Amino acid sequence: MGRRLLEFIAVAAVLMAVVVLLKLAPAPVMGQAPTAAAKAGPAPNTPWGEPDLQGIWSYDFEVPLQRPARYANREFFTDEEQAELDRQRAGILNQSDRRYSRGSEQDVGGAYNAAIFTTHKRTGRRTSLIVDPPDGRIPPLTPEAQKRRAAIREFQLALLQGTDVCKNKLEGCAGGKYGPPSPRRAETPPNYLTVAGAGGPGGGGGVINRSDGPEDRSLGERCMAAVLPDFGGNTGFFLQIVQSPGAVSIFYDTGQGQGWQRTIPVTANPHLPSHVRQWWGNSRGRWEGKTLVVDVTNFTPKTYFQGSYENLHLVERWTRLDANTIEYAVTVEDGTTWTRAWTVKQEYNKQSDQANRFYKEPRCHEGNYGMVALLAGARAEERAFAQGRGPDPATMCTAGCGGFAAGFADTGEQSNPLTR
Amino acid sequence: MRQWSTGSMIAVAVAAAAVTAVISVSMTRRAGQAASPAARTADGKPNFSGIWQALNEAHWDLQAHDARPGAVTQQGVYPYAYAQVPAAPVLALGAAGGVPGSLGVVEGDGQIPYAPEAAAIKKENAEHWIDRDPELKCYLPGIPRAMYMPYPFQIVQSTNKINMAYAFTSTARTIHLDQVEGPPDDTYMGHSVGRWEGDTLVVDVTNFNGKNWFDRAGNFHSDALHLVERFTPITPDAIRYEVTIEDPKVFTRPWKISMPLYRRLEPNIELLEYRCIEFVEEFLYGNLRKQPLVKRWEGDTIIVDITRKVPPGDKLYEWYRR
């Protein structure tokens, strides 16, 4: 009972943050045809003669990062497919009565309308943000990265072993088995825990079913989820760009109040010494014609992007195509993680500067009652168990349990048609 | 003649010294690249773009104060206020845990004109610094505090917007020189609207949420805070920064602080991350760990007991304690 209330409070705090974000989001563009963009003026220059990237930017259309298998070898959706995807997504997200069996942890975990956790933007034309490799998919992991991922997955499954997720053979336990609580619950995780990440429910980054301290929880719950590169995820983002000769400043309003400031030096100086590491790496910009090219290195072992940690290397290309559009292209490389480099292209659309629909606060951290509630809840469960008043916490699930995490089910008809 | 000759030698020497100084400055400039932009922007305004930092003790206390042995002190062997010793939270830091003295940055008589009840709150804040100061929790620092914290900040100056990026907790504010709508709610960092008065950038800051402090001495304000900041170039590498502070809920009259801001001239200077959310997790949540990391150490090791009380009225704590 105590825990439900605690979780409710945690969820309520996040919900409030999301509601604030949604209030600020531009009016939905559901009615607007994607190809009917008004003729935009030419790309402007700054008074000092550099390409002008300034203003508030977001993206107006939802495009999956990876191409869903059923559209293999096709770069664009047909008009009919686009309309059908919009219909399906709206249908799933607007449905209010779907739930896991009443009283189950999945039910409690998804007992609020999680549809607000995901953007309701219209489906775009392209079948994937990834333009290279040509199949629109993230390249295969290296054997080393596969080993890393398997190790964290094994640990996750060990911590779910005694729960209903495995007992009822839910998606969260895929590859695992039901049994008595594992002694591995006392172990240090095989690598730094980050985000739920790629690789199916609970895969990749490593969210574990334990709350011994803040480090056991995801970077999102710790208010440190902002990552580079950022393609918007479920909640979308706004960028505010301000330029001067020698610097390009970008504020990323992203991840439910987890925004951050980035200032790209436009300089020929070398990167920071290799032992100086930063969560968002070290950026070096240069102008190549109309394009700002940014080389980013020096990430930390705590940085996580799709399976990559400190060896992540980005080459970003920012090009103002016209008054209303920036093309953002990024080549992602890490020889210890992927068998080849891959490239993503995303189009940013200009938002009204005057409306100033850009919010740097309240930040997640200042109101992180969720973390206090999660940890206090876990301690309360342990006390209750010790006093014979509640179940063994090792048989309960607080992360990786499955559910309608972003408004969609994990698998099947009610999962996200853009990612299934 | 002899007199004249000596005088002229001195004049030549002074001139030579000046030339040397000019040369060494321009050498620094050339090596410095990004750290030394043109004195004026393309539209003829003073060019504030670059990385800056206040070099003073205002982050400890806006007002003039003695040096003291610790950020937190307690009574020593003698009961005199001037003979206090460092208290547990900073004891292990030795001389690095003390507070430097300062002549203060408050203009005029150096007093902050608190209303009587606000003066009592300020005093309590100072006594409960560790429990109450939002800086210790890595909360957004607010303005003007972010301007004189002991971390660098970067100004990116464009025509219609001026962005200030602060190393502390990777935050920022945008100064709007053009017409924009205000924020939909009160904020930690305020809403900044700027204009040029000759060579002075004047910034009006409003829409605060009242959760910030001015310094580590407990000086505070409410959500009625209204700032008028003035940035005036002294040299290409120094700015006179003045702030008129108005808050009728806390102060009986407007008051003013002023200080120089200095350009960081290191040739390789850049803003590095100070992502303190991670650094304060133990401070904020350590008491909720399954296995606490902070213990009363035994044996020959110094035992440091740190007391962090939950301020009365903290809604969440009050709730979960029930």
pTM of the model: 0.87
Amino acid (one-letter) located at A363: R
Helix (H, G, I), strand (E, B) or coil at A360: coil
Please tell me whether residue A191 adopts helix, strand or coil conformation.
coil
- A263 and B159 within 8 Å at the Cβ level: the answer is no
pLDDT band (50, 70, 90) for residue A110: low
Q: Is the confidence at residue A28, as pLDDT, over 70?
A: no
Q: Whose CA is closest to A207, among A152, A257, A255?
A: A152
User: pLDDT confidence of A21, banded at 50, 70, 90?
Assistant: very low
CB-CB under 8 Å, B162 with A242: yes
Interface test with B, best of A216, A279, A356, A385 (most B CBs within 10 A): A356
Q: Name the residue facing B171 among A248, A261, A267 (closest C-beta).
A: A261
Cis bond upstream, residue B184 (ω within 30): no
Adjacent-strand bridge partners of B153? B52, B166
Given a contact cutoff of 8 angstroms between Cβ atoms, the answer to whether B225 and B203 are in contact is no
Chain B interface includes A354 (CB < 8 A):
yes
Handedness of CA A119, A123, A125, A126 (dihedral sign): positive
Q: Are B194 and B202 in contact, with CB atoms under 8 Å apart?
A: yes
- Which of A53-67, A104-118, A166-180 shows the highest mean pLDDT? A53-67
Task: Please write the tens of the pLDDT for every residue from B63-101.
Answer: 999 999 999 898 888 989 889 999 888 887 889 999 999
Residue A205 has pLDDT above 80, yes or no: no
Query: Average pLDDT in the B39-51 region?
Result: 94
Using CA atoms, how far apart are residues A114 and A120, in angstroms rounded to an integer? 12
Measured between CB atoms, does A261 come within 8 Å of chain B?
A: yes
In terms of pLDDT, which residue wins out, A416 or A62?
A: A62
Does residue A201 register a pLDDT over 60?
Answer: no
Amino acid (one-letter) located at A239: L
Q: Tens digits of per-residue pLDDT, A364-413?
A: 999 999 899 999 999 999 999 999 999 999 999 887 777 666 677 777 77
Q: How confident is the model at residue A347 (pLDDT cuts 50, 70, 90)?
A: very high
Residue-averaged pLDDT of chain A: 84
| pLDDT recorded at residue A243 | 98
Q: What is the mean pLDDT of residues A304-324?
A: 95
CA distance B235 to chain A (A): 19
What percent of chain A is modeled with pLDDT above 90? 60
Give the chain B residue nearest A5 (alpha carbons): B320
| Coil vs helix vs strand at B60 | coil
- Closest by CA position to A215, among listed A186, A197, A188: A188
ipTM of the complex: 0.87
Which residues does A173 contact at the CB level (< 8 Å), separation at least 6?
A157, A160, A163, A165, A166
Q: What is the CATH number of domain B50-65+101-263?
A: 2.40.128.20
B321 to chain A, closest Cα gap in Å: 9
Is the predicted pLDDT of residue A40 greater than 90, yes or no? no
Kindly report, residue by residue over B287-315, the tens digit of the pLDDT: 899 987 766 555 666 556 666 666 666 65
Q: In B, which residues are within 8 Å of A366 by CB distance?
A: 139-140, 188, 211
Residues from chain A contacting residue B278 (CB–CB below 8 Å) = 222, 224
pLDDT at A119 over 90: no
pLDDT tens for residues B2-37?
444 444 444 444 444 444 444 444 434 444 444 456
- What does the pLDDT read at residue A405? 64
pLDDT digits (tens, 9 = 90+) for B182-212: 888 899 999 999 999 999 999 999 999 999 9
A45 touches chain B (CB under 8 A): no
CA distance A136 to B100: 59
User: Do residue B42 and residue A47 have CB atoms under 8 angstroms apart?
Assistant: yes
Strand pairing category for A260-265 and A247-254: antiparallel
Between A and B, how many residue pairs show a Cβ–Cβ distance under 8 A?
156
Whether the CB-CB separation of B55 and B148 falls below 8 Å is answered with no
**Nearest residue to B321 (alpha-carbon basis) of A324, A380, A35:** A380
Contact A353/B268, CB-based, under 8 Å?
A: no
| Domain extents in chain B | 2-34, 50-65+101-263, 285-321
What is the per-residue pLDDT for A408? 75
State yes or no: pLDDT of B151 exceeds 90: yes
Distance CA B122, CA B62 (A): 13
**Between the CA of residue A192 and those of A148, A151, A155, A302, A305, what are the distances in Å?**
11, 12, 12, 6, 13
**Cα-to-chain-centroid distance, residue A238:** 14
**Interface test mutation site (partner B, options A194, A299, A365, max chain B beta carbons within 10 A):** A365
Instruction: Render pLDDT for A208-249 as a digit per residue (tens, 0 to 9).
Output: 899 999 999 989 889 998 999 999 887 789 999 999 999 999
Architecture of domain A237-351 in this structure? Beta Barrel (2.40)
For residue B32, the model assigns a pLDDT of 40
Q: What is the DSSP letter of A23?
A: H
Tell me the domain boundaries of chain A: 237-351
Residue A34 has pLDDT above 80, yes or no: no
Express as a percent the part of chain B with pLDDT over 90: 66
- Three-point CA angle A114, A120, A125, nearest 5°: 135
* Cβ-proximal residues to B213 (8 Å cutoff; 6+ apart), any chain: B125, B133, B134, B135, B142, B145, B219, B220, B221
Is B268 in contact with A372 (Cβ distance < 8 A)? Answer: no
